[in-house]
Homo-oligomer: A and B are copies of this chain.
Amino acid sequence: MPAKKLPAEHGLRTDAAPRSSGLSVVDRIKEYILLNRLAPGDPMPTENELSEQLAVSRSRVREAMKTLSALDIVEVRHGYGTYVGRLSLTAMVESLAFRGMLDAQDDQDVMADLIDVRQLVETGLADVIVERTTPEVLASMRQLTRAMHEKAARGEGFLAEDREFHLLLMRVTGNALAVQLTGAFWDVHAIALGALPGTTDLAQTADAHVAVLDAIEAADSGLLRTAIVRHYAPIRDRMGSRTGTGSGAGANHGDARSTHGK
């Protein structure tokens, strides 16, 4: 079955010595973006142009594009074009979410760790939050909690509001990475949440968010920390309810502990 034959021909690649030798196609496309000072949203050359400029086949360019789009370095729109991506953390979301699905036990572990880290970041930034939250953003957060309560009364659930709430909380700190991480972790959490048994007390959850806002308004970072810890408590209970987790109250310092044992 091996039709070995016709030596030359199929590829008239005279030499095609890859100028930027050693570098993979992925790296060379990255290099292209850097060299041309492209920013997120800027249009990329077409696959054909790239395959010509880089002197590789379009299949190769396409595979590189697949890798890059998985990392959100480029964004591909079918039948339209390719653009520089937003560099979000969607890749981590995919990876973590799939990791959780692989094994139920691992899922529990990952989720518990996830909650701990989320709480850790938020409590750790409590001082900055009370310091920098403006009345305007506080007002919009109040708005969100009102929407939560309304939906809770209708037994509806308020995932979108919850996500936006935590995102706003991080945004006031000015730390873009914290915002991205929070969004990513929230997404992972939401994906794995459906697989969890039981239900959350909607009204109680909404109240927990109000308590956070009250603490911010009172400019009491200690109170804010305990409010955040209390906010996560029911979620912990809903899952394996593992060890550790120095509950709330401690007030004074740290208190962002937990990190169940393995």
Contacting pair B91 A175 (CB below 8 A): no
Contacting pair B177 A127 (CB below 8 A): no
Within 8 A of B (CB), among A110-128: 110, 113-114, 116-117, 120-121, 123-128
1/0 per position for A12-45, CB-CB distance to B under 8 A? 0000000000000000001001100101100000
Q: Given the known A-B contacts A87-B95, A259-B174, A261-B174, are A117 and B254 also in contact in the complex, defined by CB atoms under 8 Å?
A: no
- Nearest-neighbour CB distance to chain B for A233, whole angstroms, equals 17
Q: Given the known A-B contacts A91-B71, A116-B175, A176-B113, are A257 and B125 also in contact in the complex, defined by CB atoms under 8 Å?
A: yes
CA distance A199 to B181 in the complex (A): 30
Range class of the A interface residue count: 35 or more
A177 / chain B contacts, CB cutoff of 8 Å: 96, 110, 113-114, 116-117
Interface stretch (choices A58-66, A149-157, A207-215): A58-66
Q: Which residues of A contact B (CB under 8 A)?
A: 30, 33-34, 37, 39-40, 59, 62-64, 66-67, 69-73, 87-89, 91-92, 94-96, 98-99, 101-103, 109-110, 113-114, 116-117, 120-121, 123-128, 131, 173-178, 181, 221-222, 225, 244, 246, 252-262
Contacting pair A120 B110 (CB below 8 A): no
CA distance A33 to B101 in the complex (A): 10
Contacting pair A121 B125 (CB below 8 A): no
8 A–B contacts, CB within 8 A, in A order: A33-B102, A62-B63, A66-B70, A87-B99, A89-B96, A116-B177, A124-B256, A127-B255
Partner of A126, one of B39, B181, B254: B254
- Nearest-neighbour CB distance to chain B for A18, whole angstroms, equals 18
Residue of B nearest to A89 (CB): B92
